[in-house]
Amino acid sequence: MAYHLNQADAAQFHRDGYVLVRNFFSIEEINKLYSIAVGDRVMQQHATEVTDKAGKQTKLTLWYTPGEDVYSLLLRSDRMVKGAALLLDSNSPVCHFHTKLMQKEPGVGGAWEWHQDYGYWYKNQFLFPDQLVSCMVALTSAHRANGCLQVIKGSHKMGRVNHGFAGEQVGADMEMVNNALTTLPHEYIELEPGDALFFHSNLLHRSEANKSDQARWTIISCYNSLSNPAFNDTTVSRTRPIITVPDEALLLSDASAASETGDFLRKENDPALQATGWEQEVKTNG
Ligand SMILES: O=C(O)CCC(=O)C(=O)O
């Protein structure tokens, strides 16, 4: 039986800005997904490299509309969508903004600078940060050595802080980050495959480069409520309630790799990335 988030989880999320669920997906489920992901040609073709402040690159593949592939069976699963529904500040249906396959490769995978996701999504003109939530699911172990996520616990309560440039990334105003670091706990979120971290769009987070010889791969799905319009965003999946699949689907179905017809990130259409000049500098593989 898959675990479903409950009111105690929601209370933790509202207090800390995140809730960590160990073994949210089983090892069998993650093994199946990860073994497809590492050989997924379409995912690699649509991967994008993002340069951090130190000039290191980290790789991700981002897409919007969920389909029938193995990743979609994870992000559309009852446990994920109901979890998001419980945490979002709205009773309207849950939609899928986007999902990213994060591929932080051994030795080369770069850092993510301190930011709030809403630092990016404000530029898409989403109205309500409380109606946006992300869920990171670990596909490999994520430890300090290979650049696990770090968060400032409770920082979602600060509201949105200003963001500027940080390499090709959007980075939070470091004066406010340092203020937060002197006031709130700084946590390293170490994950094992199958662990899931739901986090608020205003939670300050970062991660370091992968200096180890172990890959650090995760999948991050971002959900919004249908009642949260984005006035500077042309993507469509965020306006369509997710059609959920049973929790068993990921394991039991003949799930496939990504489809050539998927709607992957097109940087020139993404206001958050345009604002950083990303679209001119980023290198797309394939
Ligand atoms: O993968 C990571 O380490 C961080 C990714 C991240 O911060 C993001 O996608 O917003």
SS3 annotation, 229-264:
CECCCCCCHHHCECCCECCCHHHHCCCCCCCCCCCE
Ranges 58-67, 167-176, 180-189: which has the least confidence: 167-176
250 alpha carbon – ligand 1 mean position (Å): 24
Both tokens of residue 54? Answer: 């130190």
> 152 near 207, Cβ under 8 Å?
no
pLDDT at residue 244 greater than cutoff 50: yes
> 255 near 36, Cβ under 8 Å?
yes
5 alpha carbon – ligand 1 mean position (Å): 22
> 118, 149, 150: which to mutate for ligand 1, most atoms within 8 A of CB?
149
Task: Please list every protein residue whose CB sits less than 6 Å from any atom of ligand 1.
Answer: 100, 102, 112, 117, 149, 205, 207, 218, 220
Q: Which atom of ligand 1 is nearest to the CA of 120?
A: 10
Question: Residue 69 and residue 57: Cα distance in Å, rounded?
Answer: 27
Amino acid at 113: E
* pLDDT single digits (tens) 122-169: 999 999 999 999 999 999 999 999 999 999 999 999 999 999 877 777
* pLDDT single digits (tens) 13-28: 999 999 999 999 999 9
> 142 near 149, Cβ under 8 Å?
yes
pLDDT for 52 equals 85
* pLDDT single digits (tens) 70-98: 999 999 999 999 999 999 999 999 999 99
Q: What pTM did the predictor assign? A: 0.94
> 135 near 195, Cβ under 8 Å?
no
Q: Which atom of ligand 1 is nearest to the CA of 206?
A: 7
Residue 271 banded pLDDT, cuts 50, 70, 90:
low
Q: Which atom of ligand 1 is nearest to the CA of 102?
A: 1
146 alpha carbon – ligand 1 mean position (Å): 13
The residue whose CA is least distant from atom 10 of ligand 1 is 117
Question: Residue 176 and residue 185: Cα distance in Å, rounded?
Answer: 14
> 207, 217, 221, 270: which to mutate for ligand 1, most atoms within 8 A of CB?
207
pLDDT at residue 285 greater than cutoff 50: no
Count other Cβ atoms within 10 Å, centred on residue 147. Answer: 24
- Residue boundaries of the structural domains of the chain: 7-284
The residue whose CA is least distant from atom 3 of ligand 1 is 207
> 46 near 265, Cβ under 8 Å?
yes
Q: What is the CATH number of domain 7-284?
A: 2.60.120.620
pLDDT at residue 235 greater than cutoff 90: yes
pLDDT for 157 equals 98
Query: Could you tell me what percent of the chain has a pLDDT over 70?
Result: 93
Question: Residue 221 and residue 226: Cα distance in Å, rounded?
Answer: 16
Phi and psi angles of residue 281, each rounded to the nearest 5 degrees, phi first: -105, -25
pLDDT at residue 282 greater than cutoff 50: no
Q: Which atom of ligand 1 is nearest to the CA of 207?
A: 3
Give one DSSP letter per residue of the chain, joined into a string: ------HHHHHHHHHHSEEEETTSS-HHHHHHHHHHHHT-HHHHHT-EEEE-TTS-EEEEEEE-S--SSHHHHHHTBHHHHHHHHHHSS-SSPEEEEEEEEEEE-TTTB--EEEE-HHHHHGGGTBS-GGGEEEEEEESS-B-TTTT-EEEETTGGGG-PPPEEEETTEEEE-HHHHHHHHHHS-EEEE-B-TT-EEEEETT--EEE----SSS-EEEEEEEEEETT--BTT---SGGGSB---B-TTHHHHS------TTS-B--GGG-HHHHTTTHHHH-EE--
Across all residues in the chain, what is the average pLDDT? 92
pLDDT at residue 6 greater than cutoff 60: yes
Residue 286 banded pLDDT, cuts 50, 70, 90:
very low
pLDDT for 267 equals 59
